[in-house]
Amino acid sequence: MLPSNERRRKIVEKQTVIEFRNITKRFGTSVIANNNVSMDVKRGEILSVLGENGCGKTTLMNMLAGIYYPDEGQIIIHGEEASIRSPKDAFRYNIGMIHQHFKLVDVFTATENIVLGTGKGEKYDLKEAKTRITAMSEKYGFHIDLDKKIHEMSVSEKQTVEIIKVLYRGADVLILDEPTAVLTPQEIKKLFAVLRAMRDDGKSVLIITHKLNEVMEISDRVAVLRKGEHVKTVNTAETNEKELADMMVGQKVTLNIDRPMPENPELRLNVEGITMVGNEGNFVLDNVSFDAYSGEILGIAGIAGSGQRELLEAVAGLHHLQNGSVTYINPKKDKPITFYHKSFERVMELASEGMLRYADGKDFTGKDADGRALPKKAIRALVEAGEIFFKEDEIINLREKTPLQIRELGVRFSFVPEDRLGMGLVGNMDIIDNVMLRSYRRGKSVFVDRKSPEELANEIIKNLQVVTPGTHTPVRRLSGGNVQKVLVGREIAAGPKVLMAAYPVRGLDINSSYTIYNLLTEQKKNGVAVVFVGEDLDVLLALCDRIMVIAGGKVMGTVDARTAKKEEIGLMMMGAAAQSENA
């Protein structure tokens, strides 16, 4: 086998198997997904189709797979124009696609799924099929239990079944859409070994991706798309991540993440032993505990569906918990209490708990020297004059509190949920009104000051480069990335002490993603306790101070992000507890 770089350079000499000639695809009258795209695919290569979300890379590959049909242009296969109007047509040209969302029958075995649709009538020779599949597995390095049912499999195993399924149908050209999105580092390593084996057997492998580090590791060539157009195809050995990022965006891009050391960290959020049961009686969260400190970013890693989203939603007051506690430590020591967030009843409750004092240090109990209750009017006057102080930080129980109740308790808590429009913003409302949902109230008045939210909306649009006709545009008319920017900007602008964010850069371009990372770091510098759920392990390791790993709703361990290895985290994501916890 040729050394990697030499092998990649030899690709230019290989036979061209597929050509896209001036391909254009429109959706409706206003959306041009692909515009006059021309590029080629060679035999025995791994070609990464690289671009940001919405650049048209998946649409282009869907035309090759027979899901869409080009409005203009030609697809040339082995020198002849091809008419691919369905996935069945694509298989006639030995082309198969493995989608992000698998198309498998859960109650069938691996073998049954692989052969489904290939037999005559309803009869399949499963014994013969297993023989063929076993030989294929040995050839390319697959490891799969052919009698295992799909619903019993991991994501990686399901993906393997999908790959074997297209190979079983004779595919020489394989298209994989974001194949590493939900895999652990160990699973990615195994997948890449399989892809290299197929390439070395003469197959053409096309990977749709936006992950620059993986492009550099696995591909022989890279085709870069931007805004529906083909920018350039380059040999991987002759480029680098920075150059590819610049091509993707169309301008110079900075890919650095600043990570200062936490300064004077103090406990802000304590979650202890929380358990949440799902609709089917399963444990979505199982005895989960963690602490979040001011001035740090706590990352949460895990395979998709491990409970990360539910954990943040439960802490935010959106789910019922069977067990455990959620406690917010309000940094109020030696600060005056006010009625801005605290009701009179809450002030008296704190007084009865021995949490308050006068300016001279004496306890405030709500009673005079003779033990008689002070008049309500007198207490109000003392509070409004700033004469009553907290003796210690306020300990607030958040369990079973709704988001509104949490806010009314004076908890400065912001949450960026995974579901942007279903849970974060109201699609039919404009940007200003969505900003006002954060309750910019003046005292107990039912009126809301529109000027402040309007100014804030304009600041969010300017600072995060939100593409919108204006502040009065309904957010449902914005792209997914711009909706996310509005949501993140609003939550940060609320001035939280705890900021929880679930996949805050999903759907964003590179520049916007790094803007969000920098905003989270800025919050950390300002003393905010940041809890960040992310998909990209490289980002988690570069951005966070600590990383907690969840598998199957359980905490496998928490590691120092500055010293942890991807492989260590990958093992924990697959259910192996951290070594320090096993000792």
Q: What is the pLDDT of residue 321?
A: 94
Q: What is the pLDDT of residue 464?
A: 85
pLDDT over threshold 80, residue 578? no
Percent of the chain exceeding pLDDT 70 equals 93
Confidence of residue 442 (pLDDT cuts 50, 70, 90): very low
What is the secondary structure of 485-527 as a DSSP string? HHHHHHHHHT--SEEEEESTTTT--HHHHHHHHHHHHHHHHTT
pLDDT per residue as tens digits for the range 16-74: 999 999 999 998 887 899 999 999 999 999 999 999 877 899 999 999 999 999 999 99
Domain extents in the chain: 4-247, 265-328+397-412+496-508+526-583, 332-392, 420-494
Which DSSP letter does residue 141 get?
T
Confidence of residue 353 (pLDDT cuts 50, 70, 90): confident
Confidence of residue 5 (pLDDT cuts 50, 70, 90): low
- Is residue 207 a contact partner of residue 219, using CB atoms and an 8 Å limit? yes
Tell me whether the CATH fold assigned to 4-247 matches the one assigned to 265-328+397-412+496-508+526-583: yes
Of residues 527 and 254, which shows the higher confidence score?
A: 527
pLDDT over threshold 80, residue 269? yes
Give me the chain's average pLDDT, please: 89
Contacts of 225 (CB under 8 A, 6+ apart): 37, 49, 50, 51, 55, 56, 57, 60, 231
pLDDT over threshold 60, residue 582? no
Q: What is the pLDDT of residue 10?
A: 55
pLDDT over threshold 80, residue 347? yes
Q: Rounded to 10 degrees, what is the CA torsion of 489, 495, 497, 499?
A: -10
Q: Is 38 exposed, middle or buried (0-12, 13-18, 19+ CB in 10 A)?
A: middle
Q: What is the pLDDT of residue 342?
A: 65
Q: What is the pLDDT of residue 355?
A: 87
- Is residue 471 a contact partner of residue 454, using CB atoms and an 8 Å limit? yes
- Of 5-14, 92-101, 446-455, give the range with the top mean pLDDT: 92-101
pLDDT per residue as tens digits for the range 383-424: 888 999 998 888 889 998 998 888 888 788 999 998 888 888
Q: What is the pLDDT of residue 443?
A: 41
pLDDT over threshold 70, residue 313? yes
Averaged pLDDT, 572-579: 76
Averaged pLDDT, 66-86: 95
pLDDT over threshold 90, residue 218? yes
State which fold the 4-247 domain adopts. Rossmann fold (3.40.50)
Read off the tokens for 6.
């030499």
Confidence of residue 439 (pLDDT cuts 50, 70, 90): low
Q: What is the pLDDT of residue 122?
A: 59
Q: What is the pLDDT of residue 436?
A: 85
Q: Per the confidence metrics, is the pTM higher than 0.85? A: no
Q: What is the pLDDT of residue 183?
A: 86
pLDDT per residue as tens digits for the range 446-459: 334 445 788 889 99
pLDDT per residue as tens digits for the range 524-571: 999 999 999 998 999 999 999 999 999 999 999 999 999 999 999 999
Averaged pLDDT, 471-498: 88
Q: What is the pLDDT of residue 416?
A: 94
Confidence of residue 579 (pLDDT cuts 50, 70, 90): low
Residues in the chain: 583
Q: What is the pLDDT of residue 511?
A: 80
pLDDT per residue as tens digits for the range 176-216: 999 998 888 999 999 999 999 999 999 999 999 888 999 99
The span from the CA of 64 to the CA of 93, in Å, is 10
CA atoms within 13 A on the CB side of 55: 24
The span from the CA of 461 to the CA of 456, in Å, is 9
State which fold the 265-328+397-412+496-508+526-583 domain adopts. Rossmann fold (3.40.50)
Confidence of residue 14 (pLDDT cuts 50, 70, 90): confident
pLDDT over threshold 50, residue 444? no
**Taking Cα atoms as reference points, which of 290, 257, 262, 328 lies closest to residue 526?**
262
CB atoms within 10 A of CB 45: 22
Which DSSP letter does residue 423 get?
I
